[in-house]
Structure 1
Amino acid sequence: MTHYAAYLIDLDGTIYRGQEQIPAAQRFIQRLQDQHQEFAFLTNNTTKTPEQVVANLAQNHQIKVQPEQIITPSLATAHYLQEQSLEPLGEKSCYIIGERGLKQALGDTGLKYNEFDPDYVVVGLDSDVTYHKFELATLAIKRGARFIGTNADTNLPNERGLVPGAGSLVSLVETTTQQRATYIGKPEREIADYALNLKGWDRARTAIIGDNYHTDIQCGFKAGLDTILVYTGVSTPAEVQQMPTQPTYEIASLDDWNL
């Protein structure tokens, strides 16, 4: 096994399954902290702010980290829009399908909320999504708004099983508009590049860890990172064996990874 200087670690299905704990994950994070190893959580979940993620990890999973160690598509999307815009974002507007984590990250850029003719429509996970929200998003994109999808996760693993993810919502809007979204989160490399630049980590000495071949591992492939697939969430060994490109490493549990 290679010894890496830093790790980008998925949350859903890797560190926990909804409210269900994964004991090996808590032990793994404790080992990283005991050895003063650099790591950050690279999640596709946009519903919570970094502070809320930190609180959930501490209260429900006995993992204590700092908000600076949480990297979400919400933050990466806000950064992407700032980088792409030729004007200050305070002069632009957006319509959002999403929850607090996404709304706060985009609001912090100065973007104004606009349901009718925004510059951007950003679609993320929203547990209270309605037909009306999809209607507003569709019409705004048809009027010329740029269409951004936070991530392509079709499912999220929680204690009940695999439930719909943000990608399912983005896909519906893609169907109604006949336009493909620009994706920022995993499996696209933008979120990994954002994380590496933010942390100042060496790409060649950083590995990405996750449970989903189609998002976590594909993100690693696209970003030129070594990949560690852990079988505690979405993907299965039988499925992965059929894939043309294999992860750098495959493990049954985070207990199996030697730092």
Structure 2
Amino acid sequence: MTDQTQYLTTPQGRRIAHVQVPGAGPGVVFLGGFKSDMQGTKAIHLQAWAERTGRAFLRLDYSGHGQSSGAFTDGCIGDWAEDAQAVISELTTGPQVLVGSSMGGWISLLTARAMTPRIAGLVTIAAAPDFTEDSMWAGFDSTQRAGLQNEGQIALPSEYGEPYIITQKLIEDGRAHLVLRQPLQLAFPVRFLQGTADLDVDKSVALRLLEHATGPDMRLTLVDGADHRFSDVDCLALIETAVEDVIARSERNT
């Protein structure tokens, strides 16, 4: 499988690591989660699917993630959305299907809003739109909120390794990029995937997203017992099926 990491310098001066596979359009772009990287199970699995089916594919590390430049604590939602949009603008041609996992679901919604003419479809996996406000800030106690204001950051425990450092910049920038407080039009095929045993993103978030967004072809699939990783054999197969369905429907509509 191709693993030729290349780098793109964005208009903001950030150096973004990415792996790109040539193939037929519409291309597929994988957008990962908070503090994850492009070496994750879902990204690698989708690339193998793309190479097997001859589909153009792109995965990337946001700034402060993986092999890209910058410190994680310097980043925020707006920066990471800019990173994704710069890579898509510079490296792809024609319509693209966005596949957003967790925070990548939020990034994909921002990207779809900013680049609507370029988007052929959308698949989200445990999408976490507006999580800095609705999950983090809403869940902080008075001590944590004071720590953010006084120290500029706090540490949150993580099941995935070292604690997450949450900055005041991340919270404040998140408020400038909320997608569930204003109309969200998705004028292309959309598939939302969500596990019922997800401890990081409750299924109520997926239901809220489905109810809030408007579009001609949106479906939510709930997988009983699936967790936030959504990476077992059955879940990976479901992601493939969702991407193929979106591609087929987008081609039918053109």
Q: Which has the higher contact order (CA 8 A, sep 6+)?
A: 1
TM category, shorter = 0.3 to 0.5
More strand as a share of residues: 2
Using structure 1 for the length normalisation, give the TM-score. Answer: 0.32
